[in-house]
């Protein structure tokens, strides 16, 4: 089992010194990865399910923040949970992600993408909400095409994106492709993970039966697409106080990574929570 930790600026704040201190301590404790969420804009009445989001929540740009964190750390992997893929142009995004990976010496390896659940957010960036799934599928294909393309350029003709003979450098650090994990809480997301993803990171308030159905759907979709279902990573959220027995249960369900969230907002308490978790699970120092 691999262990990551989420830093939510809407909850923990945007103080740069606190963010760096948190990331460094997570690295020292042996956490594999640091994840940040994304919302581009909010507005009065924006809600995810029954939960209304205060429009002043300070969501930083996750990629800019991860680049900032990368400059202050050495080993911890960088992740998004989730990046709202339909609201980013993949030609620009391919360059941004490759740049972070190069400058961090190969640590931008846990990109997790989702579709977004706020129609007003889609309208704000000129994206038709109903088409965001197809747009995301194309965007994944475009990212991988640009990363793999050589000096002769690559071309693409799709419903949403079209170009000829584009050359995008630099390439990701010492790999042909960056992994793309799929986040979401729907069966469509699970199918997308199997057909196109390197892993599945389900969210939402799903019960145990639905989670099992979705994971099996991701694996079967991978097999149907001629991909190896055993190569899929399975990431889940967890709590900082979760017991060893619960982690063993999740491992038995096929989970390969847990991303824990912390309750504390003050640095000293955050350090204590991270250190206690690392000790309980024997994370490598």
Mean pLDDT score of the chain: 97
Rg of the Cα trace of the chain? Answer: 19
The pTM (predicted TM-score) of the whole model is 0.97
Q: What is the predicted pLDDT for the residue at 49?
A: 86
b/e for 167-190, b at 16 or more Cβ within 10 A? ebeebbbeeeebbbbbbbbbeebb
* DSSP H or E stretch at residue 244: helix 244-252
Instruction: Give the angle subtended at the CA of 234 by the CAs of 249 and 219, to the nearest 5°.
Output: 105
Here the contacts of 126-133 (C-beta below 8 Å, separation 24 or greater) are 127/86, 127/87, 131/86, 131/159, 131/160, 132/86, 133/86, 133/188, 133/192
Query: Could you give the percent of the chain with pLDDT greater than 90?
Result: 97
Average pLDDT, stretch 31-42? 98
Give residue-wise pLDDT tens across range 235-259. Answer: 999 999 999 999 999 999 999 999 9
Phi, psi of 188 (to 5 degrees): -65, -40
* DSSP H or E stretch at residue 237: strand 233-239
Residue 149 near residue 180, CB atoms below 8 Å: no
Report whether pLDDT(6) > 90.
yes
Task: Output the CA–CA distances (angstroms, integers) from residue 195 to 105, 180, 254, 273, in the order listed.
Answer: 28, 12, 18, 37
DSSP 130: G
- Output the CA torsion 138→90→184→122 (10° steps): -100
Please report how the helices 62-72 and 16-29 are oriented relative to each other, as an axis angle in degrees rounded to 10.
60
Report whether pLDDT(147) > 90.
yes
Confidence of residue 58 (pLDDT cuts 50, 70, 90): very high
Give residue-wise pLDDT tens across range 60-116. Answer: 999 999 999 999 999 999 999 999 999 999 999 999 999 999 999 999 999 999 999
Q: What is the predicted pLDDT for the residue at 205?
A: 83
Using CA atoms, how far apart are residues 114 and 177, in angstroms rounded to an integer? 19
Confidence of residue 217 (pLDDT cuts 50, 70, 90): very high
Report whether pLDDT(204) > 90.
no
Collapsing DSSP to helix, strand or coil, 50 comes out as: coil
């Amino acid at each position: 089992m691999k262990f990551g930790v989420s830093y939510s600026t809407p909850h923990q704040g945007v103080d740069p010194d606190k963010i760096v201190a948190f990331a460094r301590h997570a690295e020292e404790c042996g956490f594999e990865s640091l994840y940040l969420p994304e919302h581009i804009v909010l507005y009065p009445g924006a809600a995810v399910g029954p939960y209304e989001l205060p429009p002043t929540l300070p969501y930083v740009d996750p990629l800019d923040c991860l680049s900032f964190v990368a400059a202050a750390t050495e080993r911890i992997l960088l992740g998004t949970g989730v990046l709202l893929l339909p609201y980013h142009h993949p030609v620009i995004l391919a360059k941004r992600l490759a740049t972070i990976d190069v400058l961090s010496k190969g640590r931008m390896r846990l990109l997790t993408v989702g579709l977004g659940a706020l129609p007003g957010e889609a309208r704000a960036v000129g994206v038709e909400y109903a088409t965001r799934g197809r747009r995301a599928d194309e965007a994944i294909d475009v990212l991988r095409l640009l990363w793999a393309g050589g000096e002769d350029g690559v071309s693409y003709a799709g419903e949403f994106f079209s170009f000829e003979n584009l050359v995008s450098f630099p390439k990701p650090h010492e790999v042909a492709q960056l992994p793309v994990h799929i986040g979401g809480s729907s069966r469509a997301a699970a199918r997308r993970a199997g057909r196109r993803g390197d892993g599945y990171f389900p969210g939402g308030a799903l019960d145990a039966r639905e989670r099992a159905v979705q994971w099996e759907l991701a694996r079967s979709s991978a097999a149907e697409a001629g991909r190896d279902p055993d190569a899929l990573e399975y990431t889940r959220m967890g709590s900082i106080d979760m017991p060893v027995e619960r982690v063993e249960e999740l491992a038995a369900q096929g989970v390969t990574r847990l991303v824990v969230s912390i309750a504390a907002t003050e640095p000293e308490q955050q350090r204590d929570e991270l250190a206690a978790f690392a000790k309980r699970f024997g994370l490598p120092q």
